[in-house]
Amino acid sequence: MQPIAYRQIEGRSSAYYALLGGLVLFILFGLSAAYYMEEHGHIVTGMNNQIVWGMPHVFAVFLIVAASGALNVASIGSVFGKAMYKPLAPLSGLLSIAMLLGGLTVLMLDLGRPDRLIVAMTHFNFKSVFAWNVFLYSGFFAIVAVYLWTMMERRMNPYTKTAGFAAFIWRLLLTTGTGSIFGFLVARQAYDSALLAPMFIIMSFSYGLAVYILVLLAAYRWTGRALGDTVLLRLKKLLVVFIAAVLYFVAVFHMTNLYFTKHHGIEHFILVDGGIHTQLFWIGQILLGSIVPLALLFHPKLGKQRCTIALSAALVILGGLAQMYVTIIGGQAYPLELFPGMQVTSSFYDGVVHYYTPSLPEIMLGLGGVAIAGAMVVFGVKILRFLPESLENQIVDPHHKS
How many angstroms separate the CA atoms of 61 and 79, rounded?
26
Q: Pick 353 or 36 by higher pLDDT.
A: 36
Q: Is the pLDDT of residue 400 over 70?
A: no
How many angstroms separate the CA atoms of 106 and 63, rounded?
10
Asked if residue 130 lies in contact with residue 181, where contact means CB atoms within 8 angstroms, the answer is: yes
Give residue 339's pLDDT.
Answer: 65
pLDDT confidence of 347, banded at 50, 70, 90? low
Alpha-carbon separation of residue 174 from 43, 77, 191, 306, 365 (angstroms)? 32, 20, 18, 32, 23
Q: Is 96 exposed, middle or buried (0-12, 13-18, 19+ CB in 10 A)?
A: buried
- Kindly tell me the sign of the dihedral angle through the C-alpha atoms of 123, 127, 129, 133: positive
Give residue 344's pLDDT.
Answer: 67
Q: Average pLDDT, stretch 214-229?
A: 92
Q: Average pLDDT, stretch 353-380?
A: 94
Could you state, in order of their start, the residue ranges of all structural domains in the chain? 14-242+361-394
Work out the mean pLDDT of the chain and round it to a whole number.
89
Q: Average pLDDT, stretch 35-52?
A: 86
For the chain, percent of residues with pLDDT exceeding 90? 57
Q: Is 254 exposed, middle or buried (0-12, 13-18, 19+ CB in 10 A)?
A: middle
pLDDT confidence of 149, banded at 50, 70, 90? very high
Give residue 128's pLDDT.
Answer: 76
Q: Is the pLDDT of residue 2 over 70?
A: no
Give residue 132's pLDDT.
Answer: 81
Q: Class for domain 14-242+361-394, per CATH?
A: mainly alpha
Helix (H) or strand (E) holding 391: strand 390-391
Give residue 100's pLDDT.
Answer: 96
Q: Average pLDDT, stretch 329-354?
A: 74
Asked if residue 46 lies in contact with residue 362, where contact means CB atoms within 8 angstroms, the answer is: yes
- Kindly tell me the sign of the dihedral angle through the C-alpha atoms of 375, 377, 380, 382: negative
Give residue 135's pLDDT.
Answer: 86
Residues 299-321 have pLDDT tens digits of 999 999 999 999 999 999 999 99
Q: Is the pLDDT of residue 52 over 90?
A: no
Alpha-carbon separation of residue 273 from 214, 281, 344, 370 (angstroms)? 35, 11, 20, 32
Give residue 131's pLDDT.
Answer: 78
Give residue 108's pLDDT.
Answer: 86
Residues 61-105 have pLDDT tens digits of 999 999 999 999 999 988 888 888 889 999 999 999 999 999 999
Give residue 346's pLDDT.
Answer: 67
7, amino acid identity: R
Give residue 390's pLDDT.
Answer: 85
Give residue 122's pLDDT.
Answer: 77
How many angstroms separate the CA atoms of 62 and 55, rounded?
11
Q: Is the pLDDT of residue 208 over 80?
A: yes
Q: Is the pLDDT of residue 121 over 80?
A: no
Give residue 57's pLDDT.
Answer: 93
How many angstroms separate the CA atoms of 376 and 373, rounded?
5
Give residue 78's pLDDT.
Answer: 86
pLDDT confidence of 398, banded at 50, 70, 90? low
Q: Is the pLDDT of residue 354 over 80?
A: yes
How many angstroms separate the CA atoms of 372 and 26, rounded?
8
Count of residues in the chain: 402
Q: Is the pLDDT of residue 401 over 60?
A: no
Contacts of 135 by beta carbon, 8 Å cutoff, 6+ apart: none
Q: Which stretches within 153-290 are classed as H helix?
A: 160-183, 196-223, 229-259, 264-271, 276-279
Residues 226-238 have pLDDT tens digits of 888 889 999 999 9
What b/e string do you get for 37-70 counting C-beta neighbours within 10 Å, with b at 16 or more? beeeebeebbbeebbebbbbbbbbbbbbbbbbbb
Greatest distance between any 2 Cα atoms in the chain: 73
